[in-house]
């Protein structure tokens, strides 16, 4: 299992950025216990509908506030307004993480009676949290699609890909890896290029595909990472689709991964048959992504790739990824070195430029 230090990415163990932490359908009025960035956390939805994520352990006596099914605090309703009570002594913590009620004490509440509250947003059926080792505010927004609210497009259902003992660097390597597309995915690549644009990296490629197009069709994809952990892709194949792949560190060298697909129907308003077809196409896409999973699950860490010129610009992708593992003040240095379009030796560049927000 490769660790951040092994890859020489920078001084932080976990990168700066927005990360998916839950499927929004999972988050209701009972806390969901999760672990990300080597920390135990709880996510819940307050009575107002607001989603809250807090560190998991009560500062009073170290109780995990999300892992209890027997306390009467749970039976009587652990969520009060947008606040949550600890199941051990019923201390109540607001969405800002501060204790706002101790049922058996009328004095001033200690300032230390607080949990870390994480900045979260709910977008397109996902819950996203901001992580920054320097504790700074977000310097970019979670991207979304206008198509999410278009009735012609069938909304995705999130695929839980599970956890894998893999450093995210190896997932990001795919953005530059033109040579794996044919043997792993059955893609006959006709063009390929990468573009680095500050905190965004883009991959443009097109060619045949064994499962996502007809036998004579062409799959064209514009794929981009916004920050270190949110992949979106515009695909033109059997259907016009918009793909999500998200991965979030659980511990150093361990990831949780999700997949989903928005699918455009042939009707102005999607009908039941369109939904059925969209679900089947998403499953085909999930299986294509699972081919990568099968490789990743059985490989050793690739610390120093034995690279040849026609592999793709791995070294540039790894340098781009390193900006998120270093102080934010250094990011412009990475951008100056990398920004621009990069092609692979012997491979045509993309025939057109599709803008990416």
Length of the chain: 357
Beta strands in the chain (DSSP E): 17-23, 32-36, 39-45, 51-55, 79-80, 83-85, 92-93, 99-101, 117-118, 120-123, 126-131, 153-154, 159-164, 188-197, 200-208, 219-226, 230-236, 240-251, 254-264, 340-343
Contact predicate 165/254, CB 8 Å: yes
Tokens found for residue 147: 């198509």
Give the pLDDT of residue 211.
66
How many Å from the N-terminal Cα to the C-terminal Cα in the chain? 34
Name beta bridge partners: 243.
Answer: 233, 261
Contact predicate 85/72, CB 8 Å: no
| DSSP state for residue 323 in the 8-state scheme | G
Q: 181: closest CA among 203, 196, 162, 214?
A: 203
The 8 Å CB, 24+ separation contacts for 287-294 are 287/211, 288/185, 288/211, 288/212, 289/161, 289/245, 289/259, 290/161, 291/184, 291/185, 292/174, 292/184, 293/161, 293/164, 293/257
Q: Give pLDDT tens digits along the chain (357 positions).
A: 799 999 999 999 999 999 999 999 999 989 999 999 999 999 999 999 999 999 999 999 999 999 999 999 999 999 999 999 999 999 999 999 999 999 999 999 999 999 999 999 999 999 999 999 999 999 999 999 999 999 999 999 999 999 999 999 999 999 999 988 888 888 888 899 999 999 999 999 998 777 666 556 778 889 999 999 999 999 888 889 999 999 999 999 999 999 999 999 999 999 999 999 999 999 999 999 999 999 999 999 999 989 898 999 999 999 999 999 999 999 999 999 999 999 998 888 988 654 554
Contact predicate 190/196, CB 8 Å: no
The 8 Å CB, 24+ separation contacts for 47-51 are 47/79, 47/80, 47/81, 47/82, 48/81, 48/82, 50/82, 50/95, 51/24, 51/27, 51/120, 51/122, 51/127
Tokens found for residue 121: 């947003």
Number of H helices, E strands in the chain: 7, 20
Structural domains of the chain, ranges and CATH numbers in brackets: 17-131 (2.102.10.10), 146-343 (3.90.380.10)
CA distance 297 to 295: 6
CA distance 53 to 34: 10
Q: 283: closest CA among 297, 263, 264?
A: 263
Contact predicate 255/297, CB 8 Å: no
CA distance 355 to 333: 24
């Amino acid at each position: 299992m490769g660790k951040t230090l092994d890859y020489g990415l920078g001084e932080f163990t976990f990168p700066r950025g927005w990360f998916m932490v839950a499927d929004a359908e999972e988050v209701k009025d009972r806390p969901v216990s999760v672990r990300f960035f080597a920390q135990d956390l709880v996510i819940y939805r307050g009575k107002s509908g607001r989603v809250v994520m807090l560190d998991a352990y009560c500062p009073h006596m170290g109780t995990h506030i999300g892992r209890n099914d027997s306390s009467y605090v749970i039976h009587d309703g652990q969520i009060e307004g947008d606040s949550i009570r600890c199941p051990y002594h019923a201390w109540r913590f607001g969405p800002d993480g501060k204790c706002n009620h101790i049922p058996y004490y009328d004095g001033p509440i200690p300032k230390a009676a607080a949990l870390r509250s994480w900045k979260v947003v709910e977008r397109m059926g996902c819950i996203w949290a901001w992580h920054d080792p320097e504790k700074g505010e977000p310097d970019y927004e979670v991207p979304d699609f206008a198509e999410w609210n278009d009735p012609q497009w069938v909304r995705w259902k999130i695929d839980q890909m599970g956890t894998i003992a893999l450093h995210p660097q190896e997932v990001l390597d795919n953005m530059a890896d033109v040579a794996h597309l044919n043997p792993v995915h059955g893609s006959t690549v006709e063009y390929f290029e990468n573009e680095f644009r500050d905190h965004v990296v883009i991959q443009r490629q097109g060619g045949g595909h064994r499962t996502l197009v007809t036998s004579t069709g062409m799959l064209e994809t514009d794929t981009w990472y916004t920050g270190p952990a949110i992949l979106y892709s515009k695909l033109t194949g059997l259907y016009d689709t918009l793909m999500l792949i998200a991965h979030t560190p659980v511990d150093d060298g361990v990831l949780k991964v999700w997949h989903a697909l928005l699918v455009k129907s042939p009707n102005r308003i999607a009908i039941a048959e369109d939904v059925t077809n969209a679900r089947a196409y998403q499953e085909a896409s999930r299986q294509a992504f699972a081919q990568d999973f099968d490789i990743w699950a059985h490989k050793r860490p690739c610390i120093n790739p034995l690279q040849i010129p026609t592999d793709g610009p791995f070294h540039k992708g790894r340098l781009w990824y390193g900006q998120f593992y270093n102080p934010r003040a250094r990011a412009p240095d990475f951008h100056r070195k990398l920004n621009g379009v990069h092609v692979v030796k012997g491979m045509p560049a993309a025939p057109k430029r599709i803008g990416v927000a």
